[in-house]
């Protein structure tokens, strides 16, 4: 069945925000990454370095991401081509749209980052989310740079995803589901929230049949780097209120139905 574009009137996945401080200003990165264009098509660019917050954010700014070989070997990648989701062009299959219209899912932003990254690590028998990498992203989250989208069903965490936000870039790292379609619902919520706050580019890293089935598109590394340069310059407050809305600091997570997902 042909996919249909996501609609703003789906009224399916209301999003509520947890409490996360604005991104903390970081010191300069002490490492110098090679030009990502030097990597071969598979993307391996460099070996070594560290997982300090400044290092990770500097890497994402340059179109590079970490993907450890094991707990002791840190590898840095910039593949060609690159998989991305465009927030304005996400597609939702008719079957998924019907599932979402049932109203069984509720989405939140940053309500339980640590549970999401733990579930992503546990969902794979051989995971690249090593203890060191997991700790690094939790630290980034506490500094306001890494964010999660959670999907809840019957009050329990059913699925979600996490990534790093630099300006108008959301660099997605991993997703998981415990209930069918919950990770797809998280992606729908992310796309709607990204549109609301001004995120221009959602990086999905390496193209796979699964990502493409969810609506990812492939672009060349050169095109990715061009789009990235524009995206990271955008002043985006990922957990701030969408334009035109006042954030009520005393209001807890929303449980109501809304026209499109956004942070309360």
Q: Which two tokens stand for residue 219?
A: 């672009």
Count the Cβ atoms, other than its own, within 10 Å of residue 22.
11
All structural domains of the chain, each given as residue ranges with its CATH number in brackets, are 4-24+81-231 (3.40.630.70), 36-77 (3.30.70.3550)
DSSP 202: E
Whole-prediction pTM: 0.84
Query: What pLDDT, in 10s, does the model give residues 235-249?
Result: 999 986 543 443 332
Query: What pLDDT, in 10s, does the model give residues 190-247?
Result: 999 999 999 999 999 999 998 888 889 999 999 999 999 999 999 999 986 543 443 3
- Does residue 48 sit in helix, strand or coil? coil
User: What are the contacts of 64-72 at 24+ separation with CB within 8 A?
Assistant: 64/33, 64/36, 65/171, 65/173, 65/203, 65/205, 66/133, 67/128, 68/128, 68/130, 68/132, 68/133, 70/130, 71/130, 71/131, 71/132
Q: How confident is the model at residue 18 (pLDDT cuts 50, 70, 90)?
A: low
To which residue do tokens 């995206």 refer?
A: 231
- Which is more confident, 78 or 89? 78
Q: Are strands 75-77 and 65-66 parallel, antiparallel or unpaired?
A: antiparallel
Cβ atoms of residues 16 and 247 within 8 Å? no
Rounded Cα distance, 49 and 2, in Å:
45
Cβ atoms of residues 36 and 77 within 8 Å? no
Q: Which helix (H) or strand (E) holds 149?
A: strand 146-153
Give start and end residues of each alpha helix (H) in 16-163. Answer: 53-61, 94-101, 113-122, 131-142
């Amino acid at each position: 069945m042909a996919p249909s574009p996501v609609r703003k009137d789906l009224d399916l996945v209301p999003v509520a925000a947890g409490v996360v401080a604005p991104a903390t200003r970081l010191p300069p990165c002490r490492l110098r990454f090679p030009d990502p264009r030097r990597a071969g098509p598979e993307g391996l660019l460099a070996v070594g370095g560290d997982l300090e917050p400044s290092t990770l954010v500097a890497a994402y700014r340059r179109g590079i991401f970490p993907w450890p070989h094991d707990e002791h070997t840190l590898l840095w990648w910039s593949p060609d081509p690159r998989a991305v989701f465009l927030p304005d062009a996400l597609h939702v299959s008719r079957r998924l749209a019907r599932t979402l219209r049932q109203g069984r899912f509720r989405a939140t932003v940053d309500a339980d980052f640590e549970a999401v990254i733990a579930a992503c690590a546990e969902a794979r028998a051989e995971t690249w989310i090593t203890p060191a990498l997991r700790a690094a992203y939790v630290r980034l989250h506490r500094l306001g740079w890494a964010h999660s989208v959670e999907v809840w069903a019957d009050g329990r965490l059913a699925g979600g995803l996490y990534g790093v936000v630099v300006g108008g870039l959301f660099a997605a790292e991993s997703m998981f589901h415990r209930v069918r379609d919950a990770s797809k619902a998280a992606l729908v919520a992310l796309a709607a929230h990204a549109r609301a706050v001004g995120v221009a580019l959602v990086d999905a890293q390496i193209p796979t049949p699964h990502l493409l089935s969810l609506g990812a598109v492939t672009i060349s590394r050169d095109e990715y780097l061009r789009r990235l340069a524009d995206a990271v310059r955008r002043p985006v407050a990922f957990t701030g209120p969408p334009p035109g809305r006042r954030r009520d600091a005393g209001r807890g997570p929303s449980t109501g139905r809304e026209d499109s997902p956004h942070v309360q």
